[in-house]
Structure 1
């Protein structure tokens, strides 16, 4: 197949370490980027993606942030879908009842109530910094500005998350996308968007999903891999992701994406 677009998830996929792409990845992207559009697709906020775009020298391409809730092309906003304040209030109340902290994201804004090991990990891994303030203040501010969250991160213990996740599903599952990125983290996104819907919106004349080769590792990558012309799971991907992929490459720490490009994308 003559691929025209390469779409890749970042964390656990394209990133060899927790925060950076390897020299091999940079070299392989450099080799193909004049023949394929290379589009980064992530749950991250824009500022946690643009430094990687710069490292890969693909700044002329759009980026898909927050699992498709925000699509940017340089300084131009192509699409933005957020979670409204009514649902944010419900999530906050459920989180409070289950001793769970919220991370609230809108464009390049990131708010948390208190510092924690989890917050500091994200600071290190994404090279971004939050604003510390009470969640009710953020919700009041956003209501006044008539905006909402592109993403919510619920940070908890495994025991609390085990209780909170089904409660969220029951009350808000029909309105929002919910998934557990690990035992202690629940991510919430608008229902109407996904990585796949964002990729579809960027297709231009003469391009279709059949022209897309995609790479991923987690639950939020499943649709993208399933419906791309060729979906590739990295070796460290969840088993459910490997099951729907057309191929499985090496792990992210073994440069799985770059290795697959080197072997299979002969330009």
Structure 2
């Protein structure tokens, strides 16, 4: 979901002065999920560093701007006086045809000035966020995680990795709370060594996907509730670098498992996209578009994930917040990839990393530094003032 709205500087000034408290927009599909209580980011159209957070208090729907202008206060829309208000002003942005097709909305809001005290629960992605480009938790970030814990903040990890490859890094992050793994496909209580919840790909689809990827000679992994099945086509150096045979021998098998795949609950396929050309990858996306119970999402620049349509980081987070009885209105999530957007859609506040794509940044309301910098402590200090 896009959380960013562009706005002219003169109207941004009126908002900060408390003179404008309603934004008008076309009610196209990008805005169908907007709701009361949601935080949005207003960005100065001439200066992308000039932003203001707002919280939606009410959304009124109208057939067109003619109707909207009759019902809403023109001063709160941003006009200096009622006589200036003219619905034809909106034709510069939206045609009558578009208004007739989608209708329009008046978004009532309050200003939000984010501070550290507004959140109790911090949700962190791992790769590209908590981990640096070397795949490590830096000493500075270890100290920052410890600081969060000392301040009685809840720390939740939400990763694309399965729990059995995330164990190495959890002690450095220092959370005792269950972890959201495999993009929400598995929720694992690492403290009590117990699976709390999982969502598996339908067995018939899992078998079809496995055969399809194997025939295309992709390097890929199959995550199950009990371990990893590796398909090493020797097309990349992924398996050499990952070294699962040595790192997690009790959780890893390598080979061809088409006849055994029905015996497993498959929660995710991780596909190394550099195994083949973009043309072949496009055929994978085409193939997945025909699957009824699973979907494909980009997780890293060289990886895509395939998982159950019931599974996402965001769905996993909703389950865990309810399980732990944590207030969803006092949450903030951090991430860098497409698979983090579902978390952004759940939490009150959201933060994109510096290296994130424009789509990810548009789905977040705040932005922070690179994962190779001591960004967590910088974030705490910036918003604790």
Please identify the structure whose Cα radius of gyration is greater.
2
Cα distance between partner residues in 1 of 2:166 and 2:326 = 24
Cα distance between partner residues in 1 of 2:181 and 2:305 = 14
2:287 aligned partner: 167
CA positional deviation for 1:196: 1.1
Task: Single out whichever of 217-226 and 157-166 deviates more from structure 2.
Answer: 157-166
The answer as to 2:331 corresponding to 1:212 is yes
1:87 aligned partner: 205
Cα distance between partner residues in 2 of 1:15 and 1:101 = 23
1:44 aligned partner: 161
1:72 aligned partner: 188
1:214-263 deviation line (CA, Å, top 9, x unaligned)? 10000011121133111000101111000111111001112333421332
The answer as to 2:234 corresponding to 1:112 is no
Cα distance between partner residues in 1 of 2:140 and 2:366 = 20
- For residues 265 and 207 of structure 1, do their structure 2 counterparts lie closer, same or farther at Cα, with a shift above 3 Å needed? farther
2:71 aligned partner: none
Instruction: Give the number of the structure with larger relative contact order, counting CA–CA contacts within 8 Å between residues 6 or more apart.
Output: 1
Alignment RMSD (CA, Å) = 2.3
Counting helix residues as a fraction of each chain, which structure ranks higher? 1
Gaps of at least 5 residues in structure 1 are none
TM-score w.r.t. length of structure 1? 0.87
- For residues 49 and 178 of structure 1, do their structure 2 counterparts lie closer, same or farther at Cα, with a shift above 3 Å needed? same
Cα distance between partner residues in 2 of 1:93 and 1:77 = 28
1:193 aligned partner: 311
Task: Single out whichever of 175-184 and 26-35 deviates more from structure 2.
Answer: 175-184
Aligned residue for 1:31, secondary structure, equals helix
CA positional deviation for 1:134: 0.9
Cα distance between partner residues in 1 of 2:368 and 2:317 = 22
Contact 1:234 1:257 in 2 (8 A): no
Cα distance between partner residues in 1 of 2:325 and 2:224 = 33
- For residues 182 and 20 of structure 1, do their structure 2 counterparts lie closer, same or farther at Cα, with a shift above 3 Å needed? closer
Cα distance between partner residues in 1 of 2:356 and 2:260 = 35
Aligned residue for 2:243, secondary structure, equals helix
1:152 aligned partner: 269
- For residues 168 and 78 of structure 1, do their structure 2 counterparts lie closer, same or farther at Cα, with a shift above 3 Å needed? same
CA positional deviation for 1:106: 1.2
Query: For residues 1-267 of structure 1, what are the structure 2 equivalents within 5 Å?
Result: 2-34=118-150, 35-58=152-175, 60-73=176-189, 74=191, 75-114=193-232, 115=234, 116-123=236-243, 128=248, 130-139=252-261, 143-144=262-263, 147-155=264-272, 156-159=275-278, 160-169=280-289, 171-172=290-291, 174-182=292-300, 184-204=302-322, 207-265=326-384
Cα distance between partner residues in 2 of 1:264 and 1:152 = 38
Contact 1:46 1:108 in 2 (8 A): no
Gaps of at least 5 residues in structure 2 are 1-116
Cα distance between partner residues in 2 of 1:107 and 1:258 = 35
Aligned residue for 2:266, secondary structure, equals coil
Contact 2:338 2:360 in 1 (8 A): yes
